[in-house]
């Protein structure tokens, strides 16, 4: 399921990253890699604030939909 459907506060593991190579590379540079745990901290309606590794990152819905957990 896409990251946008993950429950707030429930840890999830990244299973797949979709999109063009540039998008996948950008997400990988932010720490979104297959096998990494991710935690949705806040659902803002137009985007998410997530914790991946030791960083908090804001993603809009279109980018969050490319991360499958």
Residues 11-44 pLDDT 10s: 999 999 999 999 999 999 999 999 999 999 999 9
Strand, helix or coil for residue 25 = helix
Output DSSP code: residue 5.
Answer: G
pLDDT classification of 57: cutoffs 50, 70, 90 = very high
pTM above 0.85, yes or no: yes
- Model pLDDT, residue 18: 96
Domains detected in the chain: 3-68 (2.30.30.90)
- Model pLDDT, residue 55: 94
């Amino acid at each position: 399921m896409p990251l946008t459907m993950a429950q707030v506060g429930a840890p999830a593991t990244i299973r797949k990253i979709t999109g063009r190579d540039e998008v996948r590379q950008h997400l990988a540079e932010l720490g979104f890699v297959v096998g990494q745990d991710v935690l949705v901290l806040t659902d803002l309606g137009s985007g998410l604030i997530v914790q991946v590794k030791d960083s908090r990152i804001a993603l809009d819905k279109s980018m969050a939909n490319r991360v499958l957990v």
